Amino acid sequence: MSYNLGFIGGGNMSTSIFQGIINKGEFPTSKIWVSGPHLENLQHWKECGANITNKNGEVYSNCDIVFLGVKPQFLTKAIDDCSDSLPKNIVKQKVLVVSILAGISIEHLHKVLSILPGEKQVIRTLPNTPMSVGAGACLYTPDSTVSEQQCVELEKLLSGCGICERVPEHYMSSLGSLTGCGPAFMYIAIEALADGVVKQGAPRAQAIRLAAQMVMGSGKMVLESKKHPGLLKDEVCSPGGSTISGVATLEDGKFRATLINAIEAATHRTLEMGKK
């Protein structure tokens, strides 16, 4: 790799991306920089061979591609910190800034980044934590200055993290709520499904393991068979059988409507937070 990779903010999401990248084994960790206010929270990056610092400016000055991984409410502060900690007389040509901040538009990112030196190109992404195990879903929208080649480079960089798809920016909040918040919904589903068998006396660890494998396998069936999920559902519902009895119970409990509403609520909240 001919470039250095940086992360401003090394919390949960940045760590998931970092793990997905290093698990693939193609990007040398010695070319990765991460910053955050508390060095003690970045020790897991150091143990993997990355460079850690509490100066955001050090990451910005050393790296060609910089992921922004702070919470949206800390964006301005993080960029102010970055500006304040830049090395003196820095000459910076071009930086590709990859934002992972939910709900923050490309336009707003450009405004906040304008205090930093050099030409800033921005790619807005929406990653998810399963990227750390190579099974994530990441959405991205480039600004108009980002080239096709740079998009290909980003997809290549994240290829060890799972699926990475380009989407128009106006779909970011809704599709991003599905991929970003959806894992939490599925964890609840896995836990509840396991509870269903624990209630009947089965061991919890085994119930959780089998529920997780079943959810993963069902997703894989949708992706690999290319069949509509409704058809796959029909294929496992024998007339008068046990599965259709369970399906009827889910319908009775408004399972579909609840999931639809959960995605919509998450999207509204994302948009609301983006306005603040």
Residues in contact with ligand NAP by CB under 6 A are 8-14, 35-38, 41, 56, 69-72, 74, 77-78, 81, 100-102, 126-129, 180
Phi, psi (deg, nearest 5) at residue 85: -105, 15
* Least CB distance to ligand NAP at residue 252 (A): 31
CB of 180 to ligand NAP, least distance (A): 4
Nearer to ligand NAP, 136 or 207 (CB): 136
66 vs 70 by CB, closer to ligand NAP: 70
Q: Which is nearer to ligand NAP, 139 or 157 (CB)?
A: 139
Of 129 and 159, CB closest to ligand NAP: 129
Nearest approach in angstroms of CB 174 to ligand NAP is 14
Alpha helices in the chain (DSSP H): 12-24, 43-47, 56-62, 75-84, 106-113, 148-157, 172-176, 182-198, 204-225, 229-235, 242-252, 255-275
Residue nearest to ligand NAP (CB): 11
CB 32 within 8 A of CB 7: yes
Residue closer to ligand NAP (CB basis): 95 or 100: 100
State the minimum distance, in angstroms, from the CB of residue 248 to ligand NAP. 33
Q: Label residue 27 left, alpha or beta by phi (over 0 means left) and psi (-120 to 50 means alpha).
A: beta
Rg over alpha carbons for the chain, rounded to the nearest Å, is: 21
The kind and range of the H/E element at 38 are none
CB of 143 to ligand NAP, least distance (A): 18
